[in-house]
Amino acid sequence: MSKNITIRLIKVGNRLKSFTAIDDLGDVLSNNLSRQELSRGASFTISDNVKVITLKSNDCCAKSINIPITQLDPIHIIPLKTQESNTSSEWRHLTNPALYNNFYGCVAPYVIEYPFAYQYYDEIVQNVKDYTKVYKYLPTDDGIFNSNRRIETDGDYFNKAILYNDQQSSGVLNLVPKPINNLSQYISYPKYNFDSKTILFSKRDNFYQYNTFWSLVKDKTIPLFVTSCNSLSIDKEVNQDNMDYSTRSFKKDTIRAKDLKVRMILDNRSDIHLVSQFLITPSQISYL
């Protein structure tokens, strides 16, 4: 047998955007419930054997609550109003010497952008060479920062990059280290994804280097970026609706202009310390 239930939030903070609802039998009732839907009341059909529903936020700092199944008549549910509940807290940073862009268990994106301005002629970007030192800090017994407990690594780096000017954009480039002594894996790149392209980077002479990019813009009359709603530390996101990540055997539009911006992003980990020194973009003059 089954029964209908309604879940309605009566108190929630405005930092939480979407939720997943799971019953105690392991069945997912919904994996994308908005705060607005739960404020109005979300109805589900569940088994009679279900005793508890778990509501878990899909946001970075995942919070969950177990809701016991109780019967309330609609006449009791309708008058309930959702209240905003935001509690202030003291922000304490670097409490763990081995973690950096991490705040209360959440990875906060580390974003750095390099602008370039060329001379009279347009220039075509050929590759990116970045002099960045990447450190890992080993745990300490006393939990105090100690620069003697760090090591420099070669295989760790930013995980994303975006190259763009006012009319062109490479879209989201996922950066992965170049496979060593594995030709079959090496020739499998670049990889074309639904909302990104995965390319290789390598480190040589202390420079991190990558290429294999071109403009993916579909329509130059449509904005290249949209305002971010996910994190206050990100000012903008790529307008994916205006990017074409399909394989192109021809008509690869080179990134060519009198200016360029290289946006580097680390948003998938917080156990490395990136010390960015400088970045150069070897290019050639375009006379056309």
Element (H, E) at 200: strand 197-204
Residues near 90 by beta carbon (within 8 Å), at least 6 away in sequence: none
Same domain, 114 and 224: yes
Question: What integer pLDDT is reported at residue 49 of this predicted model?
Answer: 80
Confirm whether 131 is domain-assigned: yes
CA distance 260 to 122: 10
CA angle 63, 65, 71 (to 5 degrees): 155
Same domain, 65 and 142: no
Question: What integer pLDDT is reported at residue 12 of this predicted model?
Answer: 61
| pLDDT tens figures, 160-216 | 999 999 999 999 999 999 998 888 888 999 999 989 999 999 999 999 999 999 999
Confirm whether 97 is domain-assigned: no
Question: What integer pLDDT is reported at residue 75 of this predicted model?
Answer: 47
Distance of CA 119 to the CA centre of its chain: 34
Same domain, 177 and 249: yes
Question: What integer pLDDT is reported at residue 210 of this predicted model?
Answer: 94
Query: What value does the mean pLDDT of the chain take?
Result: 81
Question: What integer pLDDT is reported at residue 288 of this predicted model?
Answer: 61
Confirm whether 168 is domain-assigned: yes
CATH number at residue 32: 2.60.40
For 50, half-sphere exposure in the C-beta direction (CA atoms, 13 angstrom radius) is 27
CA distance 235 to 249: 34
Q: Which of 50, 84, 118 is the last residue of a domain?
A: 84
Q: For every one of its 288 residues, what pLDDT tens digit does the chain have, with 9 covering 90 and above?
A: 677 777 777 666 666 677 888 887 778 887 787 777 777 777 777 777 888 888 777 765 556 777 777 655 554 455 555 555 555 555 666 677 788 887 767 788 899 999 988 888 888 888 899 999 999 988 777 777 777 888 999 889 999 999 999 999 999 999 999 998 888 888 999 999 989 999 999 999 999 999 999 999 999 999 999 887 665 557 788 999 999 998 876 667 888 888 899 999 998 998 899 998 888 887 777 766
Q: Is the pTM of this model over 0.85?
A: no
Domain total of the chain: 2
Same domain, 27 and 132: no
Confirm whether 95 is domain-assigned: no
35: domain range? 2-84
Confirm whether 94 is domain-assigned: no
Output DSSP code: residue 43. Answer: E
Same domain, 260 and 172: yes
